[in-house]
Structure 1
């Protein structure tokens, strides 16, 4: 037996004319039509606008975050009977400062008593002005011994009502 098989001349000519397998170019991920470019541009513009709007809203609500941080300190003061009167006074002050940050000074600064409670109720969807009305009408003007004897649930209700108003009040544009 022969070590190498002999091929006929036609087969040898056919094998010599073969070339390597040609691989096609990889398919491009770039869109082939201009519509996809327009869609991508529109999506990018919408994302930029949404981000810009989020930044504006975040900055516009800085006064709310500051008031809520102050409310945490006030809540701690309301838990202790010896500092409860100062806490109640500061709670009214934080509500007024929050309103002054959100509305024009001439619209808010002169409000007191019933007109202040009506203002708070008018700009809150929950209408949770009862606890705040107690704060404004009664607790601010009582002596320290009367306020120190308040049940803790009344002080808790005041903080909850103030927190709800700070978080949810509506400022018209």
Structure 2
């Protein structure tokens, strides 16, 4: 079933995605965690294959992750599309992470695909499902591995 996205829902979800990127870029783990429903499930770039935790644990894990970088980890979202019907929505687009790991001579920049499932709870949109992925080159390397396509740009 499809429905028209009310401007208010579209704007609210776009604002949430902007707030998510800003909080990630600011290193504000509590602000990031507050954007997720308590039962949210993530399929992130990092292991494990799926991730579910309390908001407090999510914030703790983010703080530990931020500790691996020399300086801020910057996030950007492009080509965001929002679909919604009632109190359920999803958003998808391309996201970029730019950061400098401790001990690295310089920053890396990685584009990846992002899809968010959202639910409106008590009038506010929350992330209930998050999926991030990078494509990989289908040709097998000499060591029988596949190479992630981290050199792609939109």
| TM-score higher than 0.5 | no
TM-score (structure 2 length as normaliser): 0.31
Indicate the structure with greater helix content.
1
Whose Rg is larger?
A: 1
